[in-house]
Amino acid sequence: MLRANLQHEAHITILQYTGDLTEETGHMLPGLQAQLDAGAKELILDLADVKYVNSAGLSTFVDSYKAALRHDAKIALCQLQPQVLKVFKLARVEIFIPIYETLGLAFKHFGVMKAASTDGPPREQILVIEPALTIGDEIQRLLVAQKEQLNYRLSRVPSTVEAIRFLELRPTDVILLDVELPRPDCEKLLIYVRTHPELKNIPILIVSKDAQLAEADYLICNGADDILRLPLVAYEVSARLRVALALHYALNKDHGNVERLFETKLNAGHYEGPKYPTLR
């Protein structure tokens, strides 16, 4: 049985859930419809005390999310237990709804600093685009080994189609693109990012095996910025992420002098290919 505890802070509605998310939950998360009907537009669902979720519970969650969309409301999730987080990731929930480790970070998502929060600064969003969904796990392991996991928030998608949907919904700081994806798909992603006025400065790092370095170099000549070679090495991953982020922030901060690095062959949104300058 799933129960809800309601709280309000600033303009945020917080629903703290306790119990299991199963077929017994019904068609809507407890308390959510009432808050939507009352006009709540920004909601945090705290799942710290939810211990179990099954396929029927996921269906309930999807129906609840659709109801929120119909009311033009936004939702963030936080404090998921590891076993619940695993199910949500398998269902690709994080592509559409942000998931945060703490309540304080969920508040920051809505631009609110929670009183007495000790969560530290917001984390940088890394998007890994890879068909096998294994590189992201390795990067997460290496960041933990370097004690840098709290600096980053890592999301994984298996295709460029889902990547574009993710980029439309979530602010992203670095993109890692697996060269195992078909070249036309990689080119589609590069064109989308480099011709998008709000995304064009996002660093794109190609993840490549030694045998595929020629393909990686082709993608760099067509809009990507750097290469991460497999097998990944902890210090190299950390260093390249820091350099990419530093250049990203420099470009976004200074649209005069620094943006001359990015004099492009763009004309009315038309992408003209391999002469596109990169962060190198």
- State how beta strands 174-178 and 152-157 pair: unpaired
Q: What is the pTM of this model?
A: 0.54
- Residue 179 buriedness (CB in 10 A; 0-12 / 13-18 / 19+): buried
Asked whether 122 and 100 are in contact (CB, 8 A), the reply is no
Q: What does the domain layout of the chain look like in residue ranges?
A: 1-116, 123-280
- State how beta strands 204-208 and 266-267 pair: unpaired
Q: Which pLDDT does position 187 carry in this prediction? A: 94
Is domain 123-280 in CATH 3.40.1190.20, yes or no? Answer: no
Q: Which pLDDT does position 218 carry in this prediction? A: 92
**3-class secondary structure per residue, 40-79:** CCEEEEEEEEEEEECHHHHHHHHHHHHHHHHCCCEEEEEC
Distances (CA, A) of 107 to 79, 84, 94, 117, 169: 12, 21, 17, 10, 17
Residue partners of 5: CB distance under 8 A and separation at least 6: 15, 16, 17, 18
Superfamily, domain 1-116: STAS domain (3.30.750.24)
Mean pLDDT, consecutive 10-residue stretches, the chain (280 aa), reads 82 87 86 91 89 87 88 89 86 82 81 51 79 83 76 82 84 92 94 92 93 92 92 89 81 52 39 39
Asked whether 74 and 111 are in contact (CB, 8 A), the reply is no
Q: Quick one: how far is CA 111 from the chain centroid?
A: 17
* pLDDT > 70: percent of the chain: 84
The DSSP result for 205-225, as a single string, is: EEEE-GGGHHHHHHHHHTT--
Structure tokens, 150? 């709290």
Condensed to tens digits (0 to 9), the pLDDT of residues 39-90 reads 999 999 999 888 889 888 888 888 888 899 899 898 989 988 888 888 888 8
Residue partners of 149: CB distance under 8 A and separation at least 6: 140, 143
Residue partners of 254: CB distance under 8 A and separation at least 6: none
Asked whether 108 and 119 are in contact (CB, 8 A), the reply is yes
